[in-house]
Amino acid sequence: MDAESLLLSLELASGSGQGLSPDRRASLLTSLTLVKRDYRYSRVLFWGRILGVVADYYIAQGLSENQLAPRKTLYSLNCIEWSLLPPATEEMAAQTAMVKGRFMGDPSHEYEHTELQKTNDGDKAFEEEVVVQIKEETRLVSIIDQIDKAVAVIPRGALFKTPFGPIHVNRTFEGLPLSEAKKLSSYFHFREPVLLKNKSLLEKASLDPSLDFMDSLEHDIPKGSWSIQMERGNALVVLRSLLWPGLTFYHTPRTKSYGYIYVGTGEKNIDLPFML
């Protein structure tokens, strides 16, 4: 959710019980403004909160003019002092895939993980136990990246592709009409398209190149990994990810207000097929 309209957004997304205490709100409003100035971001998003056993991580993201450019992620434990996180890499994801369980809330905490490594010593090949240590900060980076890639959501039409390539915020976006707001196909993944390139020409033919340049939610696997609800009559659409429980997206049809927030433990729900 946008840092500027944080208070309204929090109120709208609060149907899932995810809020911020008044002192956190106040400190976020203050510090995110400064973050925007110091890091020269064109837009700052309050991304959410990862619940640790001891303390919580508050996460913010800075966007440049091109909305789909790699985002800078910052974290904070007290909502005032922000530290920049390194960009996520494939290697990190592979490493942290071994780690299970909750976050501790201490960035310097090290998870220990024993791994069997095969070493070839001459002709003999024998297995050796190696203790791999993974810092929680690394895991945090990787998890945020995974969540972003999997379930960050944006309504159709909120961004548009300029003829020169970069993707900008669509100023003429006036919200989805009610009939569209109930469909998953009117929401996109807020990331570089992955599935779109695999589509056939026939499927692409009906798309509007300036708006439909991202992956739609409706093709997510497994089917049913989203809960879409109309709340307060039809005045509010709330999307909840079932794959990453804790991610809430809200949109008020016919208005510009939309956003998502993640409040959760930072664990993927791999049990989803059993639960549907």
Q: What residue ranges bind other proteins (CB under 8 A)?
A: 11-12, 14-17, 19-24, 51, 53-55, 78, 100-102, 178-179, 205, 208, 224, 227, 229-235, 240, 242, 245, 264-265, 270-271, 274-276
Whole-number minimum distance, CB 175 to other proteins, in Å?
14
Complex with other proteins: residue 122 or 233, whichever CB lies closer: 233
Phi, psi (deg, nearest 5) at residue 254: 70, 10
Of 259 and 264, the one with the shorter C-beta distance to other proteins is 264
Tokens of 18: 């995810």
C-alpha pair distances (Å), 48 with each of 101, 131, 184, 231, 238: 19, 32, 23, 21, 16
The nearest distance, CB 189 to other proteins, in angstroms, is 20
Report the relative pairing of strands 187-189 and 83-84 from DSSP bridges.
Answer: unpaired
Nearer Cβ to other proteins (150/272) = 272
The least distance separating other proteins from the CB of residue 102, rounded to whole angstroms, comes to 6
Shortest separation between residue 159's beta carbon and other proteins, angstroms: 19
Of 15 and 193, which has the nearer Cβ to other proteins?
Answer: 15
| DSSP code at position 87 | P
Distance CA 137, CA 108 (A): 7
Task: Tell me how far CA of residue 64 lies from CA of 13, 39, 181, 248, in angstroms.
Answer: 25, 10, 28, 23
Which one, 25 or 36, has the nearer CB to other proteins? 25
Spatial distance between the Cα atoms of 106 and 52, rounded to a whole number of angstroms: 8
Q: Which of the 8 DSSP states describes residue 258? A: E
SS3 102: coil
Smallest separation, CB 259 to other proteins (Å): 15
